[in-house]
């Protein structure tokens, strides 16, 4: 019998054991008897022990690994805790986490090796992500729907469990699509278990999207980068930024060192992986006056939206002349992309600053508020001094095409109509196709301009065929993307009660993967929730599919080199 055939069985038994150990109420008490949990866990434990050491007299076993000392330590600790607590429950939890963790690490290792091998084939890299992405979405939805994932103050799972499942699905889809909106309060409604699920999903989804971004970027870079190098740079930057911000948070929000470390890790991860979750009702507004917080979070958001491959290609010195690829017109894309990002950053910030400065625009271009906000968020128009308004405008501009990190109110009457239009256009344009941002991708306009600017004589016949095919695909992408967005808005109009301001903004934000909202997600009908989930998924996958095909064409034009 082929040992590889045992892998699905092992994963299934391990998943069943983990679920049995995690089925608990909001007070972390088991919902099924402990002895039943122990029985459910026994097959996974027996299979795992045999797979590693060939126990139980069977002749078939999977590849043995060297986890002996670690296993002994974990099992001894589990037994000690179980004896101390006088219950088998700690044993079940520790063993389930350990087995699940090892199974996940083995799967992740194989998936990484496959992804690394597919970096020169963007479409293949995208296919490697699809199935795990779907599984992760289902598992996260189930995990967030468990009472263990929410605090006891959240009543949905007790009074309307179907609504709770739907809200959990919206949150799960938003997390895995790196958007960051939810019908629930991320800071107040989820337990430690729920927060762990969301942050782990953010990390895995961000790493997957950065892998696709590298595969798309490789044909345009002056030299190749390995996937491990990109991940090391991104995780290393997060570690440095997390430590740098540990003491930047107020004692009211984070009273202990551990809480400050958690706050740093969450906001740094959100900025780097372009997810818009925040832990305060007013987002980062109270902390942007701190130069460390402003500079670090803004810089990470920019790097995430541009893409680490482009940043490294531009700033790292070349070791030797052979590192450089032969010059081709499309090799200018990283420079053009960085220049476009800089111009967009200053342009959007400048427009927001001017439009939200009282007296610059006629008052009739800013709609009146239908009600008192009662919100800790301060509108840009109410910032009396220019310095804080400019700082917030720069922050909004830096996060607009990627993470969101909502720090200003966006309900009707808080921003002028020209600013509203700027925000919509910025979200639709999006970040680079080589980063972890969403939207249409600014690369569509940059690469299109690059293909049009260079004359025909600078392209060979084969390259010209790719160039015109790329232009057709980019035009199709832009038109189809706008049509899907428009159709999503019309559907939301028919099934969700809200103003045009709210429906258009939240639909575009969800579709483009930006964590900004007018709080419409709190009032979605079940049809509206399903529509929003569909828009998130389509907005995440459709541009990546087109960009992978475009990158595949350019990758075929030049020989690939090892990094």
DSSP string across 498-538: --HHHHHHHHHHHHHT-----SGGGG--HHHHHHHHHHHHH
Residue 341 contacts residue 305 (beta carbons within 8 Å): yes
Is 432:306 a contact under the CB 8 Å cutoff? yes
In the three-class reduction of DSSP (H, G, I as helix; E, B as strand; rest coil), residue 30 is classed as: strand
Confidence of residue 26 (pLDDT cuts 50, 70, 90): low
Q: 321 falls in which pLDDT band (50, 70, 90)?
A: low
Tokens at residue 94, please? 């520790």
CA distance linking residue 267 with residue 180, whole number of Å: 12
Residue 420 Cα to chain centre, angstroms: 24
Span of 84-88, 162-166, 436-440 with lowest mean pLDDT: 84-88
pLDDT of residue 320: 58
Q: How far apart are CA 105 and CA 117, in angstroms?
A: 18
pLDDT band at 423 (very low <50, low <70, confident <90, very high): very high
Q: Mapped to the 3 state alphabet, what secondary structure does 445-480 carry?
A: HHHHHHHHHCCHHHCCHHHHHHHHHHHHHHHHHHHH
Task: Pick the closest to residue 373 from 412, 418, 424, 426 (CA basis).
Answer: 412
Average of per-residue pLDDT across 2-30: 67
Determine the Cα–Cα distance for residues 113 and 103; give it in Å rounded to an integer.
16
Which residue stretches of 147-219 are H helix?
156-159, 161-176, 186-189, 192-217
pLDDT digits over 264-320, tens only?
Answer: 999 999 899 988 888 887 888 888 888 989 999 999 999 989 999 999 988 887 655
Q: State how far the Cα of 552 lies from the Cα of 415, in Å rounded to an integer.
A: 42
Q: Which region among 37-41, 283-287, 504-508, 535-539 has the lowest average model confidence (pLDDT)? A: 37-41
* Residue 463 contacts residue 556 (beta carbons within 8 Å): no
Check residue 523 and give its pLDDT.
80
Taking the C-alpha atoms of residue 209 and residue 214, their distance in angstroms, rounded to an integer, is 9
C-alpha–C-alpha distance, residues 208 and 205, integer Å: 5
pLDDT at 10 over 80: no
Closest by CA to 216, choosing from 558, 553, 560, 559, is 553
Percent of the chain with pLDDT over 90: 34
Residue 234's φ and ψ, nearest 5 degrees, are: -70, -45
Does residue 506 have a pLDDT over 70?
Answer: yes
Residues 6+ apart with CB under 8 A from 504: 424, 489
Two structure tokens written together for 539: 């907005």
Strand partners, 24: 30
Please determine, for residue 433, whether its predicted confidence score (pLDDT) is greater than 50. Answer: yes
Per-domain residue ranges of the chain: 1-117
Cβ–Cβ under 8 Å, residues 289 and 407 = no
- DSSP 8-state secondary structure symbol assigned to residue 540: H
Contact between 521 and 184 under an 8 Å Cβ cutoff? The reply is no
8 Å CB contact between 366 and 414 = no
pLDDT tens for residues 223-262? 888 999 999 999 999 999 999 999 889 888 888 888 899 8
Burial of 550 (0-12, 13-18, 19+ CB in 10 A): buried
- Residue 115, pLDDT > 60, answer yes
Rounded Cα distance between 144 and 252, Å, is 27
pTM of the model: 0.87
Q: How confident is the model at residue 410 (pLDDT cuts 50, 70, 90)?
A: confident
pLDDT, average across residues 350-355: 92
pLDDT digits (tens, 9 = 90+) for 454-472: 777 777 888 888 889 999 9
Spatial distance between the Cα atoms of 427 and 406, rounded to a whole number of angstroms: 13
């Amino acid at each position: 019998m082929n040992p590889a055939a045992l892998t699905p069985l092992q994963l299934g038994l391990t998943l069943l054991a983990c679920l049995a150990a995690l089925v608990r109420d909001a007070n972390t008490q088991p919902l099924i008897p402990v002895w039943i949990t122990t029985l459910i866990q026994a097959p996974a434990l027996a299979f795992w022990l045999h797979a590693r050491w060939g126990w139980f007299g069977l002749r078939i076993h999977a590849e043995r690994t060297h986890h002996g000392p670690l296993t002994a330590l974990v099992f001894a600790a589990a037994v000690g805790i179980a004896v101390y607590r006088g219950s088998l429950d700690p044993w079940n939890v520790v063993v389930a986490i350990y087995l699940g963790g090892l199974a996940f690490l083995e799967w992740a290792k194989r998936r990484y090796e496959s992804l690394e091998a597919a970096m020169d084939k963007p479409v293949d890299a995208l296919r490697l992500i699809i199935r795990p992405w779907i599984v992760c979405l289902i598992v996260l939805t189930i995990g967030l729907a468990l009472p263990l994932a929410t605090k006891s103050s959240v009543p949905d799972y007790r009074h309307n469990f179907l609504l709770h499942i739907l809200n959990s699905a919206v949150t799960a889809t938003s997390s895995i699509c790196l958007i960051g909106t939810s019908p629930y309060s991320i800071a107040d409604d989820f337990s430690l278990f729920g927060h762990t699920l969301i942050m782990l999903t953010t990390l895995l989804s961000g790493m997957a999207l950065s892998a696709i971004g590298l595969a798309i970027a490789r044909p345009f870079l002056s030299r190749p980068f390995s996937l491990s190098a990109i991940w090391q740079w991104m995780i290393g930057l997060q570690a440095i930024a997390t430590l740098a911000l540990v003491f930047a948070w107020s004692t009211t929000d984070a009273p202990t060192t551990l809480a400050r470390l958690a706050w740093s890790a969450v906001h740094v991860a959100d900025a780097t992986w372009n997810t818009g979750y925040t832990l305060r009702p007013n987002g980062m507004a109270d902390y942007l006056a701190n130069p460390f917080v402003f500079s670090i979070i803004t810089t990470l958001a920019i790097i995430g939206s541009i893409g680490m491959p482009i940043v490294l290609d531009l700033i790292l010195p070349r070791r030797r002349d052979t590192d450089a690829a032969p010059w081709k017109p499309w090799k200018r894309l990283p420079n053009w992309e960085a220049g476009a990002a800089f111009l967009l950053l200053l342009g959007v910030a400048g427009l927001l600053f001017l439009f939200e400065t009282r007296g610059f625009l006629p008052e009739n271009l800013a709609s009146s508020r239908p009600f008192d906000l009662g919100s800790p968020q301060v509108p840009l128009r109410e910032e009396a001094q220019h310095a804080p308004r400019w700082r917030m405008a720069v922050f909004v501009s830096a996060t607009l095409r990627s993470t969101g990190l909502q720090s200003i109110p966006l309900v009707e009457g808080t921003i002028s109509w020209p600013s509203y239009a700027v925000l919509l256009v910025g979200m639709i344009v999006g970040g680079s196709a080589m980063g972890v941002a969403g939207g249409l991708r600014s690369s569509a306009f940059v690469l299109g301009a690059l293909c049009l600017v260079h004359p025909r004589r600078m392209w060979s016949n084969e390259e010209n065929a790719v160039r015109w095919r790329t232009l057709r695909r980019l035009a199709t992408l832009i038109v189809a993307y706008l049509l899907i967005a428009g159709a999503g808005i019309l559907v939301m109009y028919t099934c969700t009660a809200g103003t045009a301001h709210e429906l258009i903004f939240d639909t575009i934000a969800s579709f483009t993967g930006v964590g900004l909202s007018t709080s419409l997600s709190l009032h979605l009908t079940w049809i509206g929730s399903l529509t929003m989930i569909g828009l998130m998924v389509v907005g995440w996958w459709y541009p990546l599919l087109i960009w992978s095909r475009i990158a595949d064409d350019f990758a075929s034009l030049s020989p690939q080199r090892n990094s």
